Amino acid sequence: GAVVSQHPSWVICKSGTSVKIECRSLDFQATTMFWYRQFPKQSLMLMATSNEGSKATYEQGVEKDKFLINHASLTLSTLTVTSAHPEDSSFYICSARGGGALNSPLHFGNGTRLTVT
Amino acid sequence: LAKTTQPISMDSYEGQEVNITCSHNNIATNDYITWYQQFPSQGPRFIIQGYKTKVTNEVASLFIPADRKSSTLSLPRVSLSDTAVYYCLVGDANTGFQKLVFGTGTRLLVSP
């Protein structure tokens, strides 16, 4: 089945630094990928939609200059958390549609645990 | 976007059948119903998807009544490893399931 891979699975960084998270579709092409954030004991919250070859669209309340998204190829989208602060510590998850039929379901990566110290 | 409502939590025992019902009263014609399972510190895992009537795969069944305003995920003979959060989502296939919105999910606890 469709596989979405995220890297790294966890990262610890110091406040003020930037962190890049990669999301790859391993066996299919994804013109659109989605980025979510999940805080402990809470549901996933959609942050932005990543579109190959064009600008990402962000959900209300998500700072586009804070969370930079690049979708330079059909198999890779990256999320960069710029000038990270402790409140950015969270679980970040990407997803992509599995390809093929229009109703192919979304498949999710295994997430990236970001801890900002 | 169709909103979903599920029970916050459910308890069961090993070997029992578990049915989790999801309400989606404003589901649209092009919407599909998809269920995901999530373990702690992992991304959601696809379980099953359907449009109407009944769908069955190797791990679960999905029952959808004619009006499609609700759906029921059925897990036969659960085991301890089925303890997880289960999410019901409704999305428009014509848009490639753009902007899927996650509800609270149902936290299933399976005990020995």
pLDDT tens column, A59-110: 999 999 999 999 989 899 999 999 999 999 999 999 998 666 777 888 999 9
Contacting B residues, span 4-63, partner chain A, CB-CB under 8 Å: 32, 34, 36, 41-46, 49, 51
What's the pLDDT score for residue A100?
A: 67
The confidence band for B97, taking pLDDT boundaries of 50, 70 and 90, is confident
C-alpha Rg value of chain B to the nearest Å: 13
* Whether A103 and B42 lie within 8 Å, measured CB to CB: no
The confidence band for B101, taking pLDDT boundaries of 50, 70 and 90, is confident
| % residues pLDDT > 70 (chain B) | 98
Per the DSSP assignment, residues forming a β-bridge with B87 are B36
Q: Which residues of chain B have a CB within 8 Å of the CB of A6?
A: 43
Nearest to A105 among B46, B87, B98 (CB): B46
Mutate: best of A9, A94, A103, partner B, most B CBs <10 A:
A103
What's the pLDDT score for residue A60?
A: 93
The confidence band for A112, taking pLDDT boundaries of 50, 70 and 90, is very high
Task: Tell me what the mean pLDDT of segment B76-98 comes to.
Answer: 89
The confidence band for B66, taking pLDDT boundaries of 50, 70 and 90, is very high
What's the pLDDT score for residue A104?
A: 82
Residue of A nearest to B31 (CA): A103
Number of Cβ pairs closer than 8 Å across A and B?
A: 61
What's the pLDDT score for residue A1?
A: 63
| % residues pLDDT > 90 (chain B) | 80
